[in-house]
Amino acid sequence: MARLLSFTAFILSIVASPSNVAAKDGDFLDGGKLVLTNAASSIEGASGGGIATWATISGLETDRGIGVTGHVTVIELPDYGWQSHGVAIGIANRVELSYARQNFDTRDVGTALGLGQGYTLNQDVFAAKLRLAGDLVYGEPLVPQISVGVQHKRNLDGAVTTAVGADSPNGTDFTLSASKLILSRSLLVSATARYTEANQTGLLGFGSAAGKGYDFQFEGSLAYQLSRRAIIGAEMRTKPDNLGLGEDNWMDLFAAFAVTDNVTVTAAYADLGSIATFENQRGAFLSAQIAF
């Protein structure tokens, strides 16, 4: 948490510099971004795709305002249910601060694992992201927007994470993302390197008592813009297997539609592989986002 607070203080000091506070009087919620270029809300609350973090900054603000985003996400799997919700603030299209609560319903698996029917794992994710260089849309077509981020995750089920062999119930992920919308091709490309020791994004704790810990993982997204308001694409995310439970990489095929300039709905087919030894966890992903 101390690292997150230090990072937040650092980026706020950048935003507070004279070069970044040129907002017009009374125009903080300027809403000047192109539709869909604020991206969706990922499962960890940061702007991006459904399962991947992008270099984008949440909210509809340009470099002269403040943006606010709220989201709710549901994933229905054969043996589990996922629900997350959160809020993010974008500042001058430079800084993003976000919070998400993840709830993972074990349903009948809870009984099989000795946790109890419908036991729900819970986690809070506090995150910050800083755009270092480039622009998602403008500038040279081959020069991406580049952002660095930190996500501090606080698991609320420490007894469970200890029981499955995790080293700690809390942990911090670090991300470096590059994203670009090539307007001439209606194509969005994004790649993220994540330095993490999270087990199932942290819902099963971090690292392992056997000594496995931080490693680099990859997240990639490719999307095609069908129209000003519609986009389709695919994502993948590699995962560590610190606990030896056969944790698989994730992938999804998604479609996003901007119902209005402020409301976006994302639907996807998600393949999350094996979760806590229960295989073939494939199902529907649905997310609704409102942004200003």
Joined tokens for residue 194? 């994540």
- Residue 32's pLDDT is 86
User: What does the pLDDT average to over 196-223?
Assistant: 96
- Residue 141's pLDDT is 85
CATH number at 2-291:
2.40.160.40
- Residue 4's pLDDT is 42
CA distance 272 to 28: 39
- Residue 11's pLDDT is 40
Predicted confidence band of residue 106 (pLDDT cuts 50, 70, 90): very high
CA distance 186 to 190: 14
- Those residues whose C-beta lies under 8 Å from the C-beta of residue 44, and which sit 6 or more positions away, are 53, 100, 102, 125, 127, 151, 153, 173, 201
Predicted confidence band of residue 112 (pLDDT cuts 50, 70, 90): confident
User: What does the pLDDT average to over 120-149?
Assistant: 96
Phi-psi region of 191 (alpha: psi -120 to 50; beta: other; left: phi over 0): beta
Q: Please report, for the chain, the start and end positions of each structural domain, with discontinuous segments joined by +.
A: 2-291
Lowest mean pLDDT among 18-27, 146-155, 215-224, 271-280: 18-27
CA distance 274 to 271: 9
CB atoms within 10 A of CB 135: 17
Comparing C-alpha atoms, which of 2, 232, 35, 38 is closest to residue 131?
Answer: 38
- Residue 30's pLDDT is 67
User: What does the pLDDT average to over 277-285?
Assistant: 96
Which pTM was predicted? 0.88
Q: 188 by DSSP, 3-state: which?
A: strand
Say if residue 22's pLDDT is above 70. no
User: What does the pLDDT average to over 212-238?
Assistant: 97
Amino acid, res. 249 = N
Chain segment 73-84, per-residue pLDDT in tens:
999 999 999 999
Say if residue 65's pLDDT is above 50. yes
- Residue 27's pLDDT is 60
Comparing C-alpha atoms, which of 219, 150, 208 is closest to residue 179?
Answer: 219
Q: What are phi and psi of 40, to 5 degrees?
A: -100, -175
- Residue 31's pLDDT is 75
